[in-house]
């Protein structure tokens, strides 16, 4: 007799030929130390359509997978439910088991008995066991209604657009090119290098930043797979993962040759004077061109926080400057080679004030015209200030340096050593409370500036410290990319940086498919972290584009044209640009249509559809109803 493979795969299966296998994992004690596994297995065996119920110490292990695979073949299973840990860990593992056994991998359902049961119910084993049984029952109820699905395959252009020509963008572009992908690198400024080009030596290597960048720029500009556009701006963006289309306005023609060594040196040297320093400009007119790419990587970086006028006396006296300005003076020789002086004024003492533009508190820090306070820590500022203080002490041994901080956060590898070296060098540290930042006043005496605060290190003693120079240790703010955010519908975090899908599981991916992020557009990072994020984004893009096509999970919305009455409620509710649209059918009626390349399967369209015409594959409303009904059943 010939085997009916369509029923074995669940195609056209009805309630009579649904055969479910249930497998409960001990998880090495993570589940079984709280949940009575045998009770769960016994209950599962009584559930509708269940023909096999087993347990194993580790279902994800080779013996556990082999057990499922063998049962699929011998027991003719066409649905599989595994009660184990989070599906984010092993859903792909168990789908692979189904594929090897010859059935559709999407006929699998996971019941999370670790995170949702045992880990949150350790004090109530009986209640945890009952809850586990109900969750398994809900999973079985859904599994009975699962249908075979196929991944969505999208053709992909083997080119990546990297937006941003700083350290992160350069590193990402080079890694992508080495992975045999074509790259277009866009930079809005006339030069490459970003903020790193404004620095001198970088910690902890003591290597000059411009030497690092010069070598990287030479490699990038020499690579035959990389095209560079400077003074470039994205003015339109459309399409989706695999086939993005960007319209770009740029100065001059696309760079296809190496930047000359002279140009690189001139560009980087000019950056020592800051973002507004002299730079290369070939005087060419603007060109508009269209770039088609499979994916885009945003490496748009950050801006230094600029204090408001009057904030800690900023712009009220020439002796009150920011840390980036001090670093530029150090690198350009602006403080002199003998006794330090700035703009002709001798400097005998300096006070650093931390957390200017970071870790701001509502009701404590003045808005000063800002729409939002920066509640986050910019992370790199403490070490940067200590590094500058260390260099000043080495260059000017008689200089008195004070450090005013809420606390010191030297979080990076080797950064604590910089703090210890600075503390031992003679820098005097004072600590102020979060709710009582120091005040800076201009005096008529010499030194001309006074920093006043309550010092927590001396049991809240009120102190006045006269100094010649006040350095405001400013934080990072996201670079302004509102046009890109609007065009691509990019999500932002509460801190206004671009928001990744998950900080650990999908750290460089955005909710918009095909758009990756790296570097300080995501959060304040140092140069080492930014380079690592760039390489991660490059690896992710290469993994997705390397085959010449992209496969997406099939959990997207689908429209039953017979039920759709064209109300457009789904179009209005959809948060993903053009994922759902109304199109005119042959009969003249307007019906909803889903672009599977853009749809993220959020289900918002299904929630507002008045006729139930639009459903999300893998999470249909009848499946939800069945799960809810199953939760009420006692086994």
Q: How far apart are CA 184 and CA 465, in angstroms?
A: 52
Q: Residues with Cβ < 8 Å from 37, sequence gap 6 or more?
A: 24, 26, 31, 55
Residue 281 pLDDT greater than 60, yes or no:
no
Q: What pLDDT, on a 0 to 100 scale, did the predictor assign at position 338?
A: 80
Q: How far apart are CA 171 and CA 156, in angstroms?
A: 23
Percent of the chain having pLDDT more than 90? 76
Identify the architecture of domain 159-301+479-550 in CATH. 3-Layer(bba) Sandwich (3.50)
Token couple for 373? 């306070």
Instruction: Delimit the domains of the chain by residue range.
Output: 5-149, 159-301+479-550, 305-474, 557-617
Q: How confident is the model at residue 575 (pLDDT cuts 50, 70, 90)?
A: confident
Q: What pLDDT, on a 0 to 100 scale, did the predictor assign at position 7?
A: 46
Residue 245: closest CA among 288, 287, 289, 293: 293
The 3-state DSSP class for residue 13 equals coil
Please check whether the two domains, 159-301+479-550 and 305-474, share a CATH topology.
Answer: yes
Q: Residues with Cβ < 8 Å from 385, sequence gap 6 or more?
A: 323, 352, 354, 403, 471, 473
**How many beta carbons lie within 10 A of that of residue 113, not counting itself?**
33
Q: State which CATH number among 3.40.50.1980, 3.40.630.10, 3.40.630.30, 3.50.50.60 fits the domain covering 305-474.
A: 3.50.50.60
For residues 317-341, average pLDDT: 89
Question: How crowded is the C-beta side of 344, counted as CA atoms within 13 Å?
Answer: 0
Q: How confident is the model at residue 581 (pLDDT cuts 50, 70, 90)?
A: very high
Phi-psi region of 35 (alpha: psi -120 to 50; beta: other; left: phi over 0): beta
For residues 225-245, average pLDDT: 92
Residue 239 pLDDT greater than 90, yes or no:
no
Q: What pLDDT, on a 0 to 100 scale, did the predictor assign at position 251?
A: 77
Q: Residues with Cβ < 8 Å from 507, sequence gap 6 or more?
A: 500, 533, 536
Q: What pLDDT, on a 0 to 100 scale, did the predictor assign at position 258?
A: 57
For residues 214-223, average pLDDT: 94
| 226-229 and 182-186 beta bridge pairing | parallel
Residue range 557-617 forms a domain whose CATH class is alpha beta
3-state helix, strand, coil in the chain (%, to 5): 30, 25, 45
The 8 Å CB, 24+ separation contacts for 430-433 are 430/402, 430/403, 430/404, 430/405, 430/455, 430/457, 430/463, 430/465, 431/404, 431/405, 431/406, 431/407, 431/455, 431/456, 431/457, 432/404, 432/405, 432/406, 432/456, 433/406
Q: What is the DSSP string of 178-206?
A: HTT-EEEEE-SSSSSBGGGGG-SEETTTT
CA dihedral 533→534→540→542, nearest 10 degrees, is: -160
For residues 137-143, average pLDDT: 98
Residue 623 pLDDT greater than 70, yes or no:
yes
Would you say 300 and 185 are in contact if contact means Cβ atoms under 8 Å apart? no
List the single range of 14-23, 159-168, 415-424, 532-541 with lowest mean pLDDT: 14-23
pLDDT digits (tens, 9 = 90+) for 503-536: 988 999 998 889 999 999 999 999 999 999 999 9
Place of tokens 């056994």: 101
Q: What pLDDT, on a 0 to 100 scale, did the predictor assign at position 261?
A: 66
Residue 361 pLDDT greater than 60, yes or no:
yes
Residue 578 pLDDT greater than 80, yes or no:
no
Percent of the chain having pLDDT more than 70? 93
pLDDT digits (tens, 9 = 90+) for 67-106: 999 999 999 999 999 999 999 899 999 999 999 999 999 9
Would you say 354 and 335 are in contact if contact means Cβ atoms under 8 Å apart? no
pTM here is 0.81
Q: How far apart are CA 448 and CA 441, in angstroms?
A: 9
Residue 420 pLDDT greater than 50, yes or no:
yes
CA angle (526, 434, 309) in 5-degree steps = 75
Identify the architecture of domain 5-149 in CATH. 3-Layer(aba) Sandwich (3.40)
List the single range of 13-17, 128-132, 252-256, 338-342 with lowest mean pLDDT: 252-256
Q: What pLDDT, on a 0 to 100 scale, did the predictor assign at position 413?
A: 85
List the single range of 19-28, 151-160, 190-199, 245-254 with lowest mean pLDDT: 245-254
Q: How confident is the model at residue 2 (pLDDT cuts 50, 70, 90)?
A: very low
Would you say 627 and 141 are in contact if contact means Cβ atoms under 8 Å apart? yes
Residue 262 pLDDT greater than 80, yes or no:
no
Arithmetic mean of pLDDT over the chain: 90
Token couple for 221? 């500009």
Q: What pLDDT, on a 0 to 100 scale, did the predictor assign at position 199?
A: 87
Q: What pLDDT, on a 0 to 100 scale, did the predictor assign at position 132?
A: 98
Q: Residues with Cβ < 8 Å from 123, sequence gap 6 or more?
A: none
Q: How confident is the model at residue 260 (pLDDT cuts 50, 70, 90)?
A: low
Residue 402 pLDDT greater than 90, yes or no:
yes
Strands in 336-438 per DSSP E: 341-342, 345-346, 349-356, 400-405, 428-431
Residue 6 pLDDT greater than 80, yes or no:
no
Residue 489 pLDDT greater than 50, yes or no:
yes
| Higher-confidence position of 500 and 252 | 500
- Residues recorded for the chain: 635
| Higher-confidence position of 316 and 2 | 316
Q: How confident is the model at residue 428 (pLDDT cuts 50, 70, 90)?
A: very high
Q: What pLDDT, on a 0 to 100 scale, did the predictor assign at position 274?
A: 59
Q: What pLDDT, on a 0 to 100 scale, did the predictor assign at position 207?
A: 87
For residues 348-372, average pLDDT: 88
In b/e form, how buried is each residue of 254-277, taking b as 16+ CB within 10 angstroms?
eeeebbeeebbebbbebbbeebeb
The 3-state DSSP class for residue 110 equals strand
């Amino acid at each position: 007799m010939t085997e009916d493979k369509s029923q074995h795969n669940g195609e056209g299966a009805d309630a009579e030929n649904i055969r479910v296998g249930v497998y409960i994992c001990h998880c090495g004690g993570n589940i079984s130390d709280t949940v009575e596994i045998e009770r769960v297995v016994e209950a599962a065996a009584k559930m509708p359509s269940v023909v096999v119920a087993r347990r194993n110490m580790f279902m994800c292990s080779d013996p556990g997978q082999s057990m499922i695979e063998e049962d699929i073949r011998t027991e003719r299973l066409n649905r599989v439910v595994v009660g184990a840990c989070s599906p984010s860990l092993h859903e792909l593992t168990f789908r692979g088991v189904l594929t090897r056994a010859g059935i559709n991998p999407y006929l699998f359902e996971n019941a999370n008995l670790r995170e949702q049961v045992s880990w949150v119910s350790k004090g109530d084993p009986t209640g945890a066991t009952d809850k586990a049984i109900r969750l398994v029952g809900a999973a079985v109820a859904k599994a009975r209604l699962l249908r075979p699905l196929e991944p969505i395959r999208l053709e992909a252009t083997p080119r990546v657009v990297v937006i941003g020509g700083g350290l992160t963008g350069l590193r990402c572009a080079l890694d992508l090119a080495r992975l045999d992908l074509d790259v277009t690198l866009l930079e809005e400024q006339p030069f490459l290098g970003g903020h790193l080009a404004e620095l001198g030596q970088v910690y902890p290597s003591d290597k000059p930043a411009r030497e690092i960048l010069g070598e990287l720029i030479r490699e990038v500009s020499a690579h035959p797979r990389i095209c560079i556009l400077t003074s470039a701006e994205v003015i339109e963006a459309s399409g989706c993962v695999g086939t993005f289309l960007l319209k770009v306005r740029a100065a001059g023609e696309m760079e296809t040759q190496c930047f000359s060594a002279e140009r690189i040196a001139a560009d980087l040297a000019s950056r020592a004077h800051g973002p507004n320093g002299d730079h290369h400009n070939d005087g060419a007119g603007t060109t508009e061109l269209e770039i088609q790419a499979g994916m885009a990587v945003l490496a748009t970086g950050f801006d230094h926080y600029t204090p408001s006028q009057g904030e800690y006396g900023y712009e009220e006296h020439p002796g009150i400057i920011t840390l980036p300005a001090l670093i530029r003076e150090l690198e350009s020789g602006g403080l002199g080679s003998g006794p330090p002086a700035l703009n002709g004024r001798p400097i005998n003492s300096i006070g650093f004030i931390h957390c200017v533009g970071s870790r701001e508190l509502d009701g404590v820090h003045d808005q000063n015209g800002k729409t939002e306070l920066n509640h986050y820590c910019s992370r790199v500022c403490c070490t940067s200030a200590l590094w500058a203080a260390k260099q000043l002490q080495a260059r000017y041994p008689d200089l008195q340096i004070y450090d005013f901080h809420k606390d010191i956060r030297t979080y990076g590898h080797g950064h604590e050593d910089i703090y210890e070296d600075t503390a031992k060098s003679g820098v005097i540290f004072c600590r102020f409370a979060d709710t009582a930042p120091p005040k800076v006043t201009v005096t008529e005496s010499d030194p001309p500036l006074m920093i006043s605060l309550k010092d927590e290190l001396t049991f809240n003693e009120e102190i006045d410290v006269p100094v010649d120079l006040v350095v405001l240790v400013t934080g990072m703010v996201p670079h302004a990319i509102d046009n890109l955010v609007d065009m691509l519908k990019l999500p932002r975090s509460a801190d206004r940086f671009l928001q990744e899908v998950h900080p650990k599981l999908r750290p460089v991916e955005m909710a918009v498919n095909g758009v990756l992020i790296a570097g300080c557009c995501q959060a304040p990072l140092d140069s080492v972290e930014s380079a690592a994020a760039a390489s991660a984004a490059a690896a992710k893009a290469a993994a997705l584009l390397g085959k010449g096509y992209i496969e997406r999970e099939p959990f997207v919305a689908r429209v039953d044209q017979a039920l759709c009455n064209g109300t457009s409620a789904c179009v209005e509710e959809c948060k993903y640009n053009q994922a759902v649209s109304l199109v005119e059918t042959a009969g003249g009626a307007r019906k909803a249509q889903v672009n599977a390349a853009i749809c993220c399967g959020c289900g918002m369209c299904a929630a507002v559809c008045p006729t139930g015409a639009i459903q999300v594959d893998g999470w249909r409303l009848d499946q939800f109803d069945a799960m809810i009904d199953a939760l009420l059943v006692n086994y």
